[in-house]
Chain A
Amino acid sequence: MREMIRLENLSKSFSGLEVIKNISFTLSEGEVLSIIGPSGSGKSTMLRIITQLERADNGTLTVDGMTMFHSEDGRAIYSKPEDLRKIGLKMGLVFQSFNLFPHFSVLRNITEAQRAVLRRDKAEAEEKAMLLLRKMGIEDKANQYPFQLSGGQQQRVSIARALALDPDMLFFDEPTSALDPELTREILKVIRELAEERMTMAVVTHEMHFAKAISDYAIFMDNGVIAEEGIPEELFGNPKEERTRKFIASFEE
């Protein structure tokens, strides 16, 4: 099976504080990985390193056969900028706070990168955008501006924006944490549909039932390490570690 992400011995500190300690995992094509754990456990930082928003201190990361960084003399050595750019284009990221461009219409939010980065022409980019908006059930919002949309609609636009560049894998950084339960369901439905289409995904989430239902593999992070990992039935249904059990139980109230 095609290995989309191979992360080995990643570590990262912020001003002396070690937030990720020697983490390794792999993500294969078509697989959905969920990453759970308390805030401050390093989940988001790990995702941000993979999507090049933060730099690794040490470790090796191979993305679909291309090396993003490798460990040498105890530090991460990054590959050359052209390679990093190519690797970046393989992935999409959906943020907790959407981060839509407020001055662009919904349509232009989705066409802008297609045109500026992938050099698609206007008609092609718009066709693609409309297709995705239809899939997200919000094609009637194409000409509106982000501030006119609900949080759930904004998040769907941001998913469409990421998908428009045809990434090989999609990452979600707490995509529903800024949404109320009803809007959360809208987004989870979209992610579930993507999972059914065998989109390769890694999702940082606090939605335990959802994570259990959609993922092929789950990781529980605590204090910068992977405290426990396994298939969701095991990790959620029968956790071995005390802290995993406590963490999952805290959502059951």
Chain B
Amino acid sequence: MQGLLMQMLEGTAVSLRIFFLTILFSLPLGFVVAKGRMTSISIIRWITDLYIQIMRGTPLILQLIFVYFAPYYIFGASYDRFTACIIAFVINYSAYFAEIYRSGLQSIDKGQYEAAKVLGFSRSYTFFHIVLPQVIKRILPALGNEVITLVKDTALAQTIGVSELFRVAQTASSRVFSTVPIFIAGVFYFVMNYIVSRLFSIFEKKLSYYR
């Protein structure tokens, strides 16, 4: 029993690594994608739109398989599973975050930009001090939703053989002929997401001083 818990904690550590690395790269990258989606240069806008459509329109599980196996079939070279898993998660989540950012950016009244311009603020000052804080407040609920989904999606990494929490639980489950390990994994996911959603409510509360 103790050995099982240790294995599951190791699996959790892998899941958390996937989670944090995906957040670390896709949060900023999503912003770049959002900018591309909103640019006036039509070719860039068209490409980013296609990219977002593909990422949202196909299963993440398929994207994982594609990212891991495509280089093998095309170049005959295989590479690290974990790296492939991170790449797949990052390109998938960047697309979702991009759409959240876009909705936030487009919800800002153009009067805010106009007031800032007339007062003489530079474009970057306007973005970082006037627009961005308001965007963050508005997108926080949608962002929280997506981050919670990410915690659960890490279970898909097993498709390409990454030993994350769910895979460890499944393996243990078939070894001991019991579904108990899977239920334990369920509790683990629940605890992780409980922490995530508490954190988001704290952020939301912190930003509730204005409307």
Which chain A residues have a beta carbon within 8 Å of chain B's beta carbons? 51-53, 85, 88-89, 91-93, 95, 97, 99-103, 112-113, 116-117, 145-147, 158, 161-162, 165
Contact = CB atoms under 8 A, between A and B. Distances in A.
A158 B116 CA distance: 12
Given A103-B134, A103-B210, A145-B209, A116 B117 contact: no
Contacts of B146: none
Interface of B: 109, 111-112, 114-115, 117-121, 125, 129-130, 133-134, 137, 209-211
B120 A147 contact: no
Given A95-B114, A116-B125, A116-B129, A102 B211 contact: yes
Contacts, number: 58
Mostly helix, strand, loop or mixed at chain B's interface? helix
A102 B134 contact: yes
A95 B109 CA distance: 13
A85 B118 CA distance: 10
B117 A52 contact: yes
B120 A89 contact: yes
Contacts of A146: 210
A112 B109 contact: no
A88 B117 CA distance: 9
B119 A117 contact: yes
A52 B134 CA distance: 24
A162 B118 CA distance: 9
Contacts of A89: 120
Which of A52, A100, A116, A165 has the most chain B CB atoms inside 10 A of its CB? A116
Contact of A88 (B118, B125, B210): B118
A93 B93 CA distance: 42
Contacts of A95: 111, 114-115
A100 B109 CA distance: 11
Contacts of A52: 117-118
A113 B210 contact: no
A99 B120 contact: no
B112 A165 contact: no
